[in-house]
A and B are shown apart, each in its own frame.
Chain A
Amino acid sequence: MALPSASLLAQSILSGLFIGALYGLLGLGLSLSWGLLRQINLAHFALAFLGAYLCYQLSSVGGMDPLATMLVIVPGFFGIGVALQWVFSRFRISPFNSLLVTFGLTVIIESVIQSLWTADFRRLNSSYGDITFRIGALYVPLPELLTLVLSLVMSLAIWATLRHTDLGRAMRAAAQDGGIATAFGVNQKGLALLLSGVCAALAGVAGVCIALSYTLAPAQIYAWIGVVFAAVMLGGLGRALGPLIAGIVIGVSESITMAITAPSWAPLVSFSLLIVVLLVRPGKV
């Protein structure tokens, strides 16, 4: 357990920041739908990977710029989110059952991905992938930087919307007490459809980021669930900036753990952190 050099440690912290930004981006949609719609949307991960595969397909086969694929993916996923919410409200699904239903959806999406793109690894070879900036002794790969920027922009935009606009206030009111909010003229059903659409669109954005930086495989869907849930819980449900901040805390602490010990120890940090926070401050999540 030798202490790594200062530059290696700094590089680890930087890469922790980048992966944390992706945790935050993935967690954002999850946290909003959990906190404001009372749905635990496990399918968020499957949607993100579906987005990643679509980005891969459109840019490596269709020849589109990977970032431009968002023009297709975001509106399409918005529609999926709206449809999902319509089903959920139609059947009045409890939070826990939403978890089970969306797990079913996850499995279906996984099989669709597997039958379309096989279980083999897929890697998007984009022009962005080769670009790396150098700041002093630190390397900054462009795809990761893009992820960080997108994650920051999305989180801040949603934070500002929820906090400072009438639309956001109406959404928070509807989340606290739907009946009362409706009585005061808030169109709760419409807002829920909109919010669910936004959450699914966020999954699409996260998918593009995943495609830019990671190798894709259908089984990877499940690899992210634990740690992103940890970020969502630590960040506080329904808070726009929470997942990003908590994601970065988790990402950085994982990277430092990896640098000091071995990479396989990394999950211990995030999940122990989650358990301790839940035990010590359960009212805060």
Chain B
Amino acid sequence: MTRGFAAILIAGGGLAVIPLAGLPPFYESFLYLVFHWIVLATSWNIFSGYSGYFSFGHGAFFGAGMYTTAYLASRFEVPFLSTLPVAAGVAMLLGGTLGAIVFRVREIRGELFALVTLAFTFVVGTIVLNTPIDGGPGIYLSAVPVPAIGPTGASSFYYMGLVLALGTVLVALVVFHSRLGAGLFAVHDDEDVAEVLGVPTYRYKIAAFSLSCGLAGVAGGIQALFLSYVTAGETFSIIVPLTVVLMCVLGGTRHWAGPVVGAAAITSLLYAFTAGNHPVAGKAVFGAVLIVVILFMPEGLLGRLPKRRMVGAYELGTPTNGAIATGSALPVGHPSPTRELLLDVRGLRKAFRGVQALDGVDIEIRRGEILGLLGPNGSGKSTFINLVSGHFRPDAGKIRFDGRNLAVLEAHAVARSGIARTYQIPRPFAHLTVRENVATAAMFGSANLARAAAVRDAHHWLEFTDLASFANALPDDLNLHQRKFLELARALSSRPRLLLLDEVLSGLTPTEIDGAVDLIRAIRDQGTTIVFVEHVMRAVMALTDRIVVLNHGQVIADGNAAEIMESAEVVSAYLGYSGTYA
């Protein structure tokens, strides 16, 4: 981060003296355009590039800023510079409101989000065109005085563009290294998992989207004066967002400086052809560059850089020894089960389109125990985990965890309160390294660590699960066994008081199962309460203090292993024999 900060300052200092060299205004205007596109591309990337929610509505927010400035400056003679904060505010408000509505709907992701934001652009454009804001003919700003920042008009635009571009890139850098950035990158790879790990996804998305829109609004305000004539048709089009997306993809959306590189390259390219009187050929080259980049470099020019992102932070810390030996990182609790209730589930019900997955389930989990949750396929075990971890809301019933009712909390708040889960089919963040995967959980879970501490802590959990040598690998490079352990490391690093393990052993070899059983016992010995959903009976027998059996969404048995095995109801649920043993 320090290096990025220094690079931005040096670039800014160098660029600030250029107008003093007395170049023709042509160069300043050209560089202004480069800055303009850097601002638009970088601001877009802060939300869309980091989080993967590709917005095609950047034209709407850019246009909102443009029209705010044009309207205020031309109709009410508000001084130009005073209109810029208003332009930012209007664009921000518009983006925040749209986000607050759209992000409520879980399904609107990917292409659907792109379409909603594109449609929003046309709606805003139509309203502007048909109301007195524009009214049809466009707005002229030729009478609006250009603030005398530099010695000439062109240099004034140059300085405004430069300051805004530096500011925007700084914001992108800060967000990139902040909690917000870490959360957005987690959302990019798997939003549901991010939320369950404790990332407040809804709030983060609105915050980043508003920020992104506000910066685009300021760029629009300056561009309005630069063009001195704005029309709805040119502003609220699909061309602005597509150009911006192209710039970011070319440079690399996963790096803060990617859009800077992309915007500078494409603006220069287009300008070279326009200046050389070949604008049509320039367009064709622009198209060809886009195709070649996507085909051969889908991650962009800077696509390879971010994988080393967290290494610097890690090197600051001292490596810790294996956790099984030290055991200091987990909250110290009672090594043996007590009678004290940790989780108290009462009358839990959940239906999916008429299928009653859970039908009035009561389960008590005591502090320090390992509870085995068994049942045939479709009996409601995974639904139980999904409800307790907050992924779904129950239709009825209470989930009291340490006295708090989890049933009313969002999933990220559940994670914060001290619950972590693993997924039966591992769901790592595919674009984050193994270490970053674990560190993300440590930052957002109940451990709630700062970024540098989380990275150090991640190392500890990677040693605990024997993954330390894969810290810089991507999850795709791991085998199933290692991916299952990555799930475990990620859940553990949030330092949960209750750990929900969803078939963590399925698909492992007998030797791997033995290793995993030892690991789970070590986790419990450090004081974590565990709910263990499993079909591998050997492990269930070896590990659990108590077993609850579900069938058709109801509890049919509750007791120790021996009692469960003798229960006629359990036998019939598994073997389908409904008679009695005579």
Contacts and interface: CB of A to CB of B under 8 A. Distances in A.
Interface of A: 40, 87, 91, 93-97, 99-101, 103-108, 110-112, 114-115, 222, 225-226, 229-230, 233, 262, 264-268, 271-272, 274-275, 278-279, 282-283, 285
Interface string B82-115: 0000000000000000000110011110111011
Contacts of B150: none
Interface hub of B245, B249, B281, B283 (most chain A Cβ within 10 A): B283
Given A267-B122, A271-B119, A104 B294 contact: yes
Given A105-B287, A222-B239, A271-B123, A279 B249 contact: no
Contact of A278 (B115, B122, B245, B286): B115
27 contacts: A40-B111, A87-B295, A96-B111, A96-B114, A100-B294, A101-B290, A101-B294, A103-B246, A104-B288, A108-B288, A111-B281, A111-B283, A114-B283, A115-B280, A229-B115, A265-B126, A267-B122, A268-B126, A271-B119, A271-B122, A271-B123, A275-B119, A279-B101, A279-B102, A279-B108, A279-B116, A282-B108
B126 A107 contact: no
Contacts of A266: 126
B105 A282 contact: yes
B136 interface: yes
A97 B248 CA distance: 13
A267 B111 contact: no
B118 A229 contact: yes
Interface hub of A96, A114, A264 (most chain B Cβ within 10 A): A96
Given A103-B242, A103-B246, A268-B126, A222 B284 contact: no
B298 A97 contact: yes
A100 B283 contact: no
Interface of B: 54, 101-102, 105-108, 110-112, 114-116, 118-120, 122-123, 125-127, 129-130, 136, 237-239, 242, 245-246, 249, 280-281, 283-284, 286-291, 294-295, 298
A278 B246 contact: no
Contacts of B288: 104, 108
Nearest to A229: B115
Contacts of B242: 103
Contacts of B237: 222
Contact of B112 (A87, A99, A282): A282
A10 B218 CA distance: 46
B417 to A, nearest CB: 30
B237 to A, nearest CB: 7
Given A107-B290, A108-B287, A278 B126 contact: no
Contacts of A274: 115-116, 119
B111 A95 contact: yes
A100 B291 CA distance: 8
A99 B290 CA distance: 11
B287 A104 contact: yes
Contacts of A95: 110-111
A137 B40 CA distance: 52
Contact of A96 (B110, B116, B129): B110
Nearest to B102: A279
Contacts of A96: 54, 110-111, 114
Contacts of B110: 95-96
Nearest to A118: B280
A114 B281 CA distance: 10
A220 to B, nearest CB: 13
Nearest to A222: B238
Contacts of A93: 294-295
The 4 closest A-B pairs by CB, nearest first: A104-B290, A107-B287, A282-B107, A111-B284
Contacts of B102: 279
Contacts of B290: 100-101, 103-104, 107
A91 B246 contact: no
Contact of A100 (B111, B112, B126, B246): B246
Interface hub of B120, B123, B281, B286 (most chain A Cβ within 10 A): B123
B294 A267 contact: no
Given A226-B118, A226-B238, 7 more contacts: A40-B111, A97-B298, A104-B287, A108-B288, A266-B126, A279-B101, A279-B105
A279 B120 CA distance: 12
A173 B115 CA distance: 26
B241 to A, nearest CB: 10
Contacts of A279: 101-102, 105, 108, 116
Contacts of A271: 119-120, 122-123, 126
A100 B245 contact: yes
A267 B125 contact: yes
Contacts of B112: 233, 278, 282, 285
B352 to A, nearest CB: 13
Contact of B130 (A91, A115, A229, A262): A262
A100 B288 CA distance: 11
Contacts of B118: 226, 229
Contacts of A87: 295
B294 A108 contact: no
A146 B54 CA distance: 39
B136 to A, nearest CB: 7
Contacts of B126: 264-268, 271
Nearest to B284: A111
B287 A111 contact: yes
A271 B291 CA distance: 29
Contacts of A106: 287
Nearest to B286: A107
B97 to A, nearest CB: 13
Contacts of B111: 40, 95-96, 99
A112 B288 CA distance: 12
Nearest to B118: A226
Contacts of A94: 298
A268 B284 contact: no
A251 to B, nearest CB: 16
Contacts of B127: 268
A265 B245 CA distance: 28
B101 A264 contact: no
B246 A101 contact: no
Given A103-B246, A108-B288, A268-B123, A275 B238 contact: no
